[in-house]
A and B are shown apart, each in its own frame.
Chain A
Amino acid sequence: MARLRRAQTSTSSAESSSRVDKIGRRAPIVHSVRVDKVSRGAQILRFIRATVVVVITLIMLIPVFWMVLTTFKSHPDAIAVPPKVFFKPRLVDSFVFLVTDRFLLPRGKLAQYPDECKESWTECVRNKCSEPRSGKELAWYECVALESGQLVTGPGKYGEYVINSLIIAGCSTAAAVVLGLLSGYAYSRFDMPVKDFQLFFILSQRFLPAVVITIPIFLMYKDLHLQDTHLGMIILYTVVNLSLSVWLLRSFIDEIPREYEEAAMVDGYTRLQAIRKIVLPNALTGIAATTVFCLIFAWNEYAFALMLTSDVARTAPAFIPTMIGRGVVEWTSIAAGSLVFLIPVVIVTFALRKYLLRGVTFGAIRQ
């Protein structure tokens, strides 16, 4: 209320000096009154600030950069000591290895393939090479494997687990944001007994690290048959995210003056309609910020996923490290798996960036 008043008096006084005539009607703007001069000191300061930001950003991006490099290396290049920065890129190998199960052909078997099939996978495809025993033509990805002397035995689990991740993170984020919006609204607008304690209690769900509560949850889930199910993981991530989303959305809704809904209610709408038509559009910033935070948590979560899922509902973060433990460590496919895994969060964050800039500073909807 007080904030609203301040915001409005400041705009009205700014307008009255330049753009509003005596009787409160708008006067046309005849010329610009902007001053574009910036002092030398401010210019230098701005330059220093920009440099620092760029340097920090580059430092933060080094792991991602290295991951991208590794993805496009061949296996010997990836494990070379000292590490190679310049190498002959292999564009598809690591991705093919990521989504297939293979085994290394024994020397005798490998010798049965004609040489032009083993030289490079493009040659292999062009020559329409086939499997010597069955005479079946090799698919392009089988050619890629053959180039490294491997035979594809079937599809890998990675794709399945990424889809699991998408389902679990998507559903739990949607649930956390919808529930958080409604309870955040209630905490913002209504009086209720021991409200502060309730809010503290909700926040306290986050006090313990995940590893501490995994065992009790594991036991509960075993009894409830929620272990290794999508539903179980969605419920778990929703609950963990709710504390964050209730707090975030409550503070965003606090910024929306009550008068808006009151006006809507006097204008003939019910409270729910007023929430949908008035609060929701004005809380978009907060909803976007909350969505991104919840999504990032649910997408990256590792400890719960490792303990509570084994196959059916296993998520990608819990799967990627297990690739280390299977015979040869295929660093290139691990890098490729991590890179692919980054993409959805980057897309969502990029799509919502215009809200986020205002959202993470909690600037909300000042008029």
Chain B
Amino acid sequence: MATIELRQVEKKFGDLHAVKPMDLTINDGEFMVLLGPSGCGKTTTLRMISGLEAVTGGQILIDGRDVTWAHPSDRDIALVFQFFALYPHLSAWQNIAFPLQAEGESRANIEKRVSEVARMLGIKHLLHLRPKALSGGDKQRVGLARALVRRPAAFLMDEPIGALDADARETMRAEIKQFHLTQNATTVYVTHDQIEAMALGDRIVVMSMGVVQQVGTPAEVYYDPAKLFVARFIGSPGMNLVTGGYADGVVHLPGSNPYPVPPAWNTALQREMGSEGDVIVGFRPEAGRVTGTGPLVAEVYATELHGAYTVLHLSLNGTVVHIRADRGIDYPIGTAVRFDLDPEMVRFFDPQTEAALRLPFDGAQDKTQDTALRRAQDTALTGREH
């Protein structure tokens, strides 16, 4: 297993920067997710690590060895493709054996390792079939088997479940998680689906327009987005972002709604912007609480029952925010409601730099939250404690 290190790696297509110079260290055994909308450079980054795309500048090191200009076959990595890329003229068995044949393994050894991997992924009964005869999920299982059979130093996965239909995707997501936990292999995983990223990643790299916006654990990027882009992109719906004028411990939100800043934040805001100025208040839908005594007043724009909960669309004089409320709650459209924000979950952003403002003691309490969340996720996905 291996550490992957990117040093000032960049990629230009003509004058266009597909990936601006980025630094990234992926630790041994880590599951790193590259997340971002299409065209953000995540796949290009993955392809540069694999060696299928040449870098324009910078260095790539795998386990301390400089592989920047090494051929893909010399990097000891395996790649899983979005559209499987199974060789159509070979059977599943031949597909899985293909990388071993490149290494000149003996026939007996190939037999042994292919059946070992096939048993692990539950595709033993499909080995004689051509890819055309396989379902989407099975195709990707064969793709995973082909990657796994070589026991590479690292796995690279390019939206491996993006081409599957919804049901198969959920199953495969858990299988990939299980696969990672048993193999404990360094994995770089590209996706545009933030739920997938949250569910799978040890850490997430959020990218936009070829620039790394934030590198952090799923909890970090969810609760403490570093940039407005991250706040909007992670979560569905994303973080509510409302611009207001800050003055003397109060942010004046649209619709003449003075919001008293939690005391902990007050010093941070004063330090950043002096006594007054514009600031963006951000809060997750679940941070809002509808209470009779809340400081903020808004008009109900729409209510949506999502089954387990209701999403209230509230209009602050035209600026719509989403609040997650109890599933029993239902208001007629146009009703004025009062609500409050959980002071623990309110975040502030600088409208100019689009960067988040930070508390001085930032991070200490999130660590515990993080570990608890990870454990809960792992248990939920794999269905067992470990």
Which A residues are closer than 8 A to B by beta carbons? Answer: 4-5, 8-9, 12-13, 15-16, 19-20, 22-26, 257, 259-260, 262-270, 273, 277-278, 281-282, 365, 367
- The 15 sampled A-B contact pairs (Cβ below 8 Å) are A8-B84, A8-B163, A12-B135, A12-B164, A16-B135, A22-B167, A24-B171, A24-B172, A259-B83, A262-B52, A265-B51, A267-B78, A267-B150, A268-B73, A273-B102
Inter-subunit contact A365/B167 (CB<8 Å): no
B88–A13 touching, CB < 8 Å: no
User: CB-defined interface of B178-211 with A at 8 Å, one 1/0 digit per residue?
Assistant: 0000000000000000000000000000000000
Taking a contact as CB atoms under 8 Å apart, the answer to whether A267 and B89 are in contact is: no
User: What is the minimal beta-carbon distance from B283 to any residue of chain A, in angstroms?
Assistant: 37
| B58-86 with Cβ < 8 A to chain A | 71-73, 77-79, 81, 83-85
B350 within 8 Å of A (CB atoms): no
Which residue of chain A is the closest to B170 with respect to CB atoms?
A23
Interfacial chain B residues near A13, Cβ < 8 Å? 165
Taking a contact as CB atoms under 8 Å apart, the answer to whether A9 and B98 are in contact is: no
Chain B residues contacting A22 (CB-CB under 8 Å) are: 167, 171
Interface residues of chain B, those whose CB is within 8 Å of chain A, are 50-52, 71-73, 77-79, 81, 83-85, 87-89, 98-99, 102-103, 131-132, 134-138, 146, 150, 163-165, 167-168, 171-172
Chain A residues with CB below 8 A from B136, complex form? 8, 12, 15-16, 20, 24
Chain A positions within 8 Å of B131 at CB level: 367
Q: Which residues of B contact A19 (CB under 8 A)?
A: 135
Give CA–CA (A290, B288) in the complex, Å: 68
Known contacts A8-B163, A12-B164, A270-B71; A263/B81 CB under 8 A: yes
Question: Closest CB of chain A to B184's CB: distance in Å?
Answer: 21
Alpha-carbon separation in the docked complex, A282 to B134 (Å):
18
Question: By the criterion CB–CB under 8 Å, are A24 and B138 in contact?
Answer: yes
Contacts of B77 in A (CB 8 A): 266
Chain B residues, Cβ within 8 Å of A260:
85, 87-88
Q: B302 to nearest A CB, angstroms?
A: 32
Cβ contacts under 8 Å, B99 to chain A: 267-268
CB-based closest 3 A-B pairs = A24-B137, A24-B168, A268-B102
Name the B residues within 8 Å of A25 (CB-CB): 135, 137-138
Once the chains are docked, how many angstroms separate the CA of A257 from the CA of B85? 8
Q: Find chain A residues with CB under 8 A from B87 CB.
A: 260, 263-264, 278
Min C-beta distance of B66 to chain A, whole Å: 19
Tell me which residues across on chain A come within 8 A of B85, comparing CB atoms: 257, 259-260, 262-263
Q: Contacts A22-B167, A24-B137 given: A264-B98 contact, CB under 8 Å? A: yes
CA distance in complex: A25, B141 (Å): 11
A17 to B340, CA, bound (A): 47
Closest-by-CB residue of A relative to B73 is A268
CA distance A25 to B150 in the complex (A): 25
Write the nearest CB–CB distance from B146 to chain A, whole angstroms.
7
Q: How far is the CA of A20 from the CA of B89 in the complex (A)?
A: 23
Complex-state Cα separation, A273 to B132, whole angstroms: 23
